Amino acid sequence: MTDEPQDQPKHANSPACLAHVADDGYMGFVGEAEIAAFLKALAEAEQAGRPHAEMLRKILPKVRDDILHRELSAKLKAQESVETGT
């Protein structure tokens, strides 16, 4: 049992307990501004027909949003097949 009154909010005991509310940048993920800039650069590369698999490989580990990660992973797979000719 704790000494904290039940009507008081519980306090986290360590920084890891607050990881779910931390800013994406603090946790090593890209923030909204970085994602927006990346998506703009990706669109430009796609329009110009430039290879962009390396761009995708660099950002994927830093994307926290599951839906965006899935979409970028699909783009990477498609780009890799184009680059390898398969």
Q: Exposed, middle or buried, 45 (CB in 10 Å: 0-12/13-18/19+)?
A: middle
Residues of the domain holding 38: 15-84
Domain count, the chain: 1
Position 34 in a domain: yes
Per-10-residue mean pLDDT of the chain, 86 residues long, equals: 55 62 78 95 94 95 95 95 82
Full-prediction pTM beyond 0.95?
Answer: no
- Answer whether residue 58 is part of any domain: yes
Q: Is 37 inside a domain boundary?
A: yes
Residue among 4, 78, 72 nearest 38 (CA): 72
79 occurs within a structural domain: yes
Decide if 8 is inside a domain: no
Residue 7 lies in a domain: no
User: What count of other Cβ atoms lies within 10 Å of the Cβ of residue 48?
Assistant: 8
